[in-house]
Amino acid sequence: MIETIEFEGVTQIRMSRELDGSPVYWVAAYLVDGLLVDTGCSHTARELTRFLEGRELRQVVNTHYHEDHVGGNHDIMARFPVDVYAHPDSIPLMLRESTLHPYQEIAWGYPRPTRAKPLPPSLKTGRFTFDIVDTPGHCAGHVCPVELSQGWCFAGDLFARENPKFIRPEENLGGIIRSMRRVMDACGSRLVLFTAVGKIVEDGRKALTECTSHLTGLAEKARGMERSGASLEDIVQAMFGGEHPFAELTNGQFSTGNLVRSLLETVT
């Protein structure tokens, strides 16, 4: 299942596996001036490749190595004479066979290993220059291509919402906060976020400011409770009203407990 919208000359391509006529989980790629940012999941790889037929496609960049961002790489590379770029930390992970949890297999599927080229400091298209900003925290090797003259940031999974309530165990909220600040420092007053969850946030600076403020406030509160003797479970209950339902759906991979653990380790 694919849906598209146009925004300022950027084509957002939202993709999802379809079960019983309904989307399972939307992910988004972006096509602008021959550059494709991310390629979605393997379940939608053939649809994405068909969509790209007849359109200008000259190069691909993966914001990171996760299966819902690189799943179309193999089909695209087999069909089009394009280079795929990724952060050096992502490249060996994209070459290996993935190990997925059941929810990942259902929603996104196994990506076929592909070989990407190391990202240069910037990628040029016919009309634009995309500077590559290192943004670890969600995972190692996460990057955001930024077009400064337009105020565009292709945010990958750096930002999804201002008030996250669950994260994966490997995510580092301190790193995410620092990466959000790095993006704001790199960009001018205009900052549009093109997110991997399918939201285009026109006031990205406001959204990132609110998110970093929210997370630093939570971290201070959580550490204060811990110093007073509260357990992690106590903090989850007091601050969030208990564990998020996603924890059960993902066998604990996406959980509020993971978020609180990372908050307790976050230096603000």
Quote the CA–CA distance of 187 and 210 in Å, as a whole number.
Answer: 17
Interval 226-241: pLDDT, tens? 999 999 999 999 999 9
- Tell me, yes or no, whether 219 lies in a domain: no
Contact 196, 68 (CB under 8 A): yes
Contact 200, 193 (CB under 8 A): yes
Interval 26-75: pLDDT, tens? 999 999 999 999 999 999 999 999 999 999 999 999 999 999 999 999 99
> How many folded domains does the chain comprise?
1
CATH at 88: 3.60.15.10
Angle between helices 204-227 and 232-240 (to 10 degrees): 130
- 3-class SS of residue 207: helix
Predicted confidence band at 21 (pLDDT cuts at 50, 70, 90)?
confident
- 3-class SS of residue 227: helix
267 pLDDT higher than 80:
no
268 pLDDT higher than 80:
no
> What's the Cα-to-Cα distance from 148 to each of 35, 122, 130, 152, rounded to whole Å?
16, 11, 8, 7
Q: Percent of the chain scored above 90 by pLDDT?
A: 95
- Tell me, yes or no, whether 107 lies in a domain: yes
Query: What's the average model confidence in pLDDT over 170-175?
Result: 96
Quote the CA–CA distance of 76 and 57 in Å, as a whole number.
Answer: 10
Query: What's the average model confidence in pLDDT over 62-90?
Result: 97
- Tell me, yes or no, whether 19 lies in a domain: yes
Q: What share of the chain is helix, strand, coil (3-state, %, to 5)?
A: 35, 25, 40
- Tell me, yes or no, whether 66 lies in a domain: yes
- Tell me, yes or no, whether 162 lies in a domain: no
- Tell me, yes or no, whether 133 lies in a domain: no
Interval 114-150: pLDDT, tens? 999 999 999 999 999 999 999 999 999 999 999 999 9
Tally of residues, the chain: 268
**Model pTM?**
0.95
The secondary structure of 2-61 as a DSSP string is EEEEEETTEEEEEE--EETTEES--EEEEEETTEEE----GGGHHHHHHHHTTS---EEE
Query: What's the average model confidence in pLDDT over 208-216?
Result: 97
- Tell me, yes or no, whether 3 lies in a domain: yes
Q: Which domain holds residue 109?
A: 1-127
HEC readout, 70-102: HCCHHHHHHHCCCEEEECCCCHHHHHCCCCCCH
Query: What's the average model confidence in pLDDT over 174-194?
Result: 96
- Tell me, yes or no, whether 189 lies in a domain: no
How much is the mean pLDDT over the chain?
96
pLDDT at 266: 82
